[in-house]
Every structure is written in structure tokens, then in C-alpha cells.
Structure 1
Amino acid sequence: MKKIMFYCQYLSGMGHLVRSSEIVQSLAKYFQVYFIVGGPQIPGFELPTQVEVIRLPALWLEEGKFTVGSSPFTVEEVKAARKNILIAECDRIQPDCLITEFFPFGRHKLLFELIPLVEHLKKISPKTKIVSSLRDVIGKESDPEEEEIICNLMNRYFDLLLFHADSRFQTFSDSFARHQEILAEVIHTGFVTQLPKFTSTPFEKLWSEVSLDTVKIVASIGGGRIGYEVLETLIKSSAILSRKLPHVMKIFTGSFMPVEKVKQLKKLAGDRDNIQIETYTPQLLEYMQTADISVSLGGYNTTMNILSTGAVPL
């Protein structure tokens, strides 16, 4: 069975991890997959069991700078360790293919480990295919200097670009101004989405004895580093909304929302028994399937979830 190394680094939210997990889960049906994860662990988030997970010492961004949280090691020590681990795993696995999620269209702060990785692969295994996995909207304003770096990296190292969109709706040329300069083949894969589980959890367990005629609102903001104001406004609106529309709100703050901000939201909700605030749930799709309204930031993954569950979005 052919072997694939899939590199995923999430620096601020968890959207890249969610999307990558779905991709490697599908790849595992046909390949032996090694899933390299470089961000902090997320309590409750289950990585695919069909793949070998390789956890790098965690790095992420806070206020634009790398941090290692409570690790006893410095950022520079962690960076050096990560680079060495990647090279060692590359030697151990001898992959037929390396897939880098979002790189080289992003993750330029990680050049310290990614360039040594791809150069090492080119040296020890010239036949190994190097592939970029890219979502539909790159999410950056056009920057000629950065676009030059992207083109150079793609053309020097990469054999293929997997663009996760439907070409009837969004093409790579719509997202990247200098698309004609990319030499590698571009494949539009279709959108990546989590598959809903229509009957796995009873309605009563999700909504705690809420009557069927009560309006059910689920709110989520991804990892939680941004979006506090959305949840704050939603909680404030509940008192006004209740006068004419009995409802219950299930609010998920995200695993990366600062503890103090979570406390502020809970204080704002007070003793209102129709508002439940939690950090994270692996059953978000099931909540969206059974809710009357889904409130979110409308990111890639949530938008795909809305389409797959038929949730009414706001």
C-alpha cells in the first residue's frame, strides 16, 4: 500500500485541522496515511483512528508571535525539535507522497521546518510526489511579494495542487491572481465537508427535554480566538427575543477562547436556564441538524456543514 505523509498546522483556529482530518480519513481507505499534527491538542476532538498520528511539539500564534504555551522549552528549542522530528519521520516512513495543507499559499512562518523537509525528501527520494492541499478561498489580500514567494515555492518543489472547491462555483484562477504562472497540475477536488450522522444521538440528549415547538438556536465560532462579540450580542438579544419567541440557545465558545472571556459570557448569561454555554462538542453537526437556526462566523467548514445539514444560517 502506498504511503502518504499529510502535514497539518493550525496556528490560530481549528478549521485547518477539521478539514485535514476529513481528508486523511478518506485517504486512509486507499493509502497508509501518516498524519502530522503541529498545533495544540483540542480536548474532545477525535483524530481519525485509521491513520498513524504524529504529534509535533505544539506551536501556535498569539498576537502574531509564536508561543509554546506552558511548555518548558523555548520557541527556538521547539522549532529545532520539530524540524528534526520531521526529518526523522521522513526517513522512517519513506513516503510515496507528502501533502502539505495550505503551504505554500500560507504557513510561511514555518519555512524553518517545511523547506528542510521538502528538500530532504527531494534528496533521499526524488520520486516522492509533493502535493499542496488548498481550500477554496486563500483568505489573503493580493500581495505581489508574497505571490512571488508562492509561485517560486510551488514551481520549485510541488508536483500537484489539490484545490478544494467545485470548479462550477469557484476556480483556482478566481482565488490566485498569478495562477497562470503555476506549473504544477491543479485538480479541483470538490468541497471538503464532515458527513452528518442523522440518527446517532437522540434529540432529547442534545436538547435536554426541550419541547419540539421551542425555537432551538445553536451558535459556534470555530476555535474561538475570534467571534466573542457575536456570542456576546446573541446572549444580550436573548432577553428581548424571549418576549415574543420562546427559545433555547446552545453556545459553543471554541477551545481557544481565553478563559476570562468564557467567564464573561457565562456571567452575561447569568441564571437564564435557556442559555447553555460549552467549550466544544464533537456533535456540532447533529446540533445543526436539529436546530432551527445556526449562528456562526460563516467560515469554510461551517458553511459546508450548513449545506450538508440543511441548517438555517445566520
Structure 2
Amino acid sequence: MSRPRVFFYVQHLLGIGHLARASRIAGALVERDFEVTMVTGGTPVPGFPGEGVQTVALPTVTAGDKGFSGLVDGDGNPVTAAFQEHRRDLLIEAFRRTEPDVVIIEAFPFGRRQMRFELLPLLAEIAASSRPQLVATSLRDILQERVKPGRAEETVELVKNHFDLVLVHGDPGFARIEETFPLADEVRDKVVYTGLVAPPPPNEAAEKFDIVVSAGGGAVGRELIGAALEAAKLLPNALRWCLIAGPNLPQADFDTFAAAAPEGVSLFRFRRDFGGLLGGARLSVSQAGYNTVCDILRAGCACLLIPFTAGGETEQSTRAARLEQLDLAGVLPEEGITPELLAAKVSFMLARPRPAIPPLDLDGAAGTARIIGERLSSRQSFPHPAPGLRPTRSA
């Protein structure tokens, strides 16, 4: 008997958080004996999506700037209509070749509107398929707020017509989808909470540092790494610092930081033992992205969060504020951060006792694989409408 096939679309535009979360889920699906094909469309990142996952790499697109205004190709040129059509055709071809039982689309239609040029045709192709698929959208627990008028209504209509499941990768005791998506009640029959997609408990790292500063993918972490380097000079020399700049920090910036690193400060691009480093650290300093926070919660590490807010982004600020309310984090605003402010806050955080992590569900990757398996085994066959529309279906 053949293994059930999953077609998993993920597009990262700026950082690597979307790809990292999707890769953890894909790994859990493989462990549950699914055959997973992941379609990626961002800048390639070594080590992702991981072993056992088949990969289709579409031509690269990234965000034109920190505010996600416009798309550019891998060479930094604005994306053309011909480029979009080529990507769309490659995506549809990959879907037909895979013949999946399950389709997972990361973020869309709640996010990734920039990719409508290929995702709406994919949904039409799914609707026209003679082979019924279980279709799910894969979401982080806190969504971007302050969207333009009409966007939420459009999202609801797409979910009703094209999706069987809204997989919310969170613990409802920490954040519920209706808190950042006001029309969630209209699709509540499709919403399922999977738990937070955290890594497994980390092994102890070979090295220990007092302070671990991480910039995620590094595309927007230059200011944080630079401030941390200078802050280290203002604090006792006995403190050991680990600065992880991320794979997307420009090489010229990395070289400048490496040359300026004082004694006691180690600079890295990437650390595969990141979780272990957090487990042995006295303090983590980072942005407030979903994956980094999951790593911190799993490790039980004290943390200082500096949420990313460029382009009107609200998700990280919301997450950081909730953790601060639970006494699990200190928070500094991204705007106006200086080495002096950072050093003072680091000193304050080091003087606090290690936080007691509440019993949040951190096994969201396995939870997602279990939910998909259960729904796939119990689902019924549904008639298909004309291309471009699927019937409204309960999960």
C-alpha cells in the first residue's frame, strides 16, 4: 500500500521563520509515514526543509524591502508578469506530478497575498482535480493586524470555498486566532489548534555562554547585532556572549562585526545547537519571531525580546507583550535601541530569577501530523464543482 502524499507549499520572503516551521511539520509528517513534497520559493537555506522531504524549488522571490513592498527575484530585480507566469506553471506542474492526497498551503489566504498570482490558480487546479484532496492552511498563532478594508472578508470567502482545515500552530491558552483575526468565528468549524511548533528538547551544547543574541535569518538583524557588540563592551568582561548573525546578513556586515568583536564575544552565522545554547544560557536576546520564541520556551531560558515592527508589522509586538504579561520576557522597542539601553536591560534581566515556563503545548509538529492523519483517514468523498470553486465543507 502506497504512503499518503502531502503537497506542502511554503514561501519565505524576508526571514527564514516560515520555512523553519514548515520544515519541522514536514519532518513530523515523514515520521508518521507520509510522503512529503515541499514546494519552496524563497532564497535557499542550507539544511531546510530536511531529510526525507522531497523538494521542488521554484525560482526565487524575496521581499523588496523590510516593509514587504513588492517582490524581487534572486538577483534583486522586480518580478515581471512573465516571471510570475513561469512560476505559476511550474507550481501547477509540480502539483499534477505529485498527485497528492493532502495539500498544505502555508499562511495563505491569511497572509502571503503577494503570491496570489500562483496560489489562486493552484486552488482552481485543486478544485478541478478528479482526485479529492484534504486542503489545509498552516498558520502561526498570532496574525498580522491592521489589514486593509475587505481583506478579512476575502480571506473568509477563500477559506469557505477552498479549505477543509485551518491549522493554527499554537496553544489556545496563550493566543487564540479570533484575537488577531476578528472574523474567525465565520470559519470556526475549520479551525484546529495543533500546539506550538517547537523543536524537541535540546541536547546540552558543547559550549556555554552567558548571553545568546540571535538575529533569526539575519535579513533585518543588523541593528541588533551591532548594538549587542557595543553593549558587550559596557558590561563586565567576565560575561561570555554568543552572537548569531543569521545566514542572510550581508557578508560585508558580518566581516565588519567580526573585526569589531571584543574579547568574550563570539560571532557565528548559524548554530545547529541553538536550542542547547539557550538551555545553558542565562539570557537570550532576540527578536520575537514565532520560531525563536518556541526555541526559548522549549529551553526554558530567560529572554529579552526586541520585536520587529518595520512596515507596520504587529505580530512580534503582540507576542512579546503577551510573554511580558506572563513574566516570561523583558521587552525593548526596536526603534531607538542603543548600546546603552541594551546593556542596561541585559544587566536588569541577568539579575532576575530564571522564569517558570507555563505548561504550554509545544508539540505542534507532531500534533499537526496526527490531525492530518486522523482527518485523512476519516474524511468522506465530496463532489467537485466547476474549476475555480470548491463547495463549502465542514472539517
Partner of 1:231: 225
Partner of 2:184: 179
Partner of 1:42: 45
Provide the C-alpha distance between the structure 2 equivalents of 1:232 and 1:172, rounded to a whole number of angstroms.
Answer: 35
Change (3 A) 1:61 1:163: same
Provide the C-alpha distance between the structure 1 equivalents of 2:158 and 2:57, rounded to a whole number of angstroms.
Answer: 25
The superposition leaves residues 253-308 of structure 1 with CA deviations (integer Å, 9 ceiling, x where unpaired) of 11222334334433442xx2311222222221122122222111122111111111
1:74-153 equivalences under 5 Å are 75-125=80-130, 127-153=132-158
Change (3 A) 1:251 1:75: farther
Provide the C-alpha distance between the structure 1 equivalents of 2:188 and 2:285, rounded to a whole number of angstroms.
Answer: 40
Letter in 1 for 2:241: M
Partner of 2:312: none
Query: Is there any run of 5+ residues in structure 2 with no aligned partner, and where?
Result: 305-395
Q: Which runs of 4+ in 1 moved over 4 A?
A: 71-75
Letter in 2 for 1:145: G
SS in 2 for 1:182: helix
Partner of 1:256: 248
Give percent identity, aligned residues only. 29
TM-score, length-scaled by structure 2: 0.71
Where relative contact order (Cα < 8 A, 6+ residues apart) is larger, the structure is 2
The superposition leaves residues 60-90 of structure 1 with CA deviations (integer Å, 9 ceiling, x where unpaired) of 1122221222399964443222211111111
Partner of 2:282: 292
| Contact 2:244 2:268 (8 Å CA) reproduced | yes
Query: Is there any run of 5+ residues in structure 1 with no aligned partner, and where?
Result: 208-214
Partner of 1:212: none
Change (3 A) 1:74 1:144: closer
Change (3 A) 1:72 1:164: closer
Provide the C-alpha distance between the structure 2 equivalents of 1:118 and 1:189, rounded to a whole number of angstroms.
Answer: 24
Provide the C-alpha distance between the structure 2 equivalents of 1:297 and 1:73, rounded to a whole number of angstroms.
Answer: 28
Partner of 1:27: 29
Letter in 1 for 2:226: E
The superposition leaves residues 128-151 of structure 1 with CA deviations (integer Å, 9 ceiling, x where unpaired) of 121111100012324332212211
Indicate the RMSD between aligned Cα atoms, in angstroms: 2.1
Letter in 2 for 1:277: L
Deviation at 1:121, TM superposition (A): 1.2
Provide the C-alpha distance between the structure 2 equivalents of 1:249 and 1:283, rounded to a whole number of angstroms.
Answer: 15
Partner of 1:62: 64
Range that drifts further, 284-293 or 17-26: 284-293
Deviation at 1:9, TM superposition (A): 0.4
Provide the C-alpha distance between the structure 2 equivalents of 1:77 and 1:111, rounded to a whole number of angstroms.
Answer: 15
SS in 2 for 1:144: coil
| Contact 2:19 2:49 (8 Å CA) reproduced | no
| Contact 1:87 1:117 (8 Å CA) reproduced | yes
Provide the C-alpha distance between the structure 2 equivalents of 1:71 and 1:230, rounded to a whole number of angstroms.
Answer: 24
Partner of 2:14: 12
Change (3 A) 1:62 1:140: same
Change (3 A) 1:142 1:77: closer
Provide the C-alpha distance between the structure 2 equivalents of 1:257 and 1:78, rounded to a whole number of angstroms.
Answer: 26
Change (3 A) 1:49 1:247: same
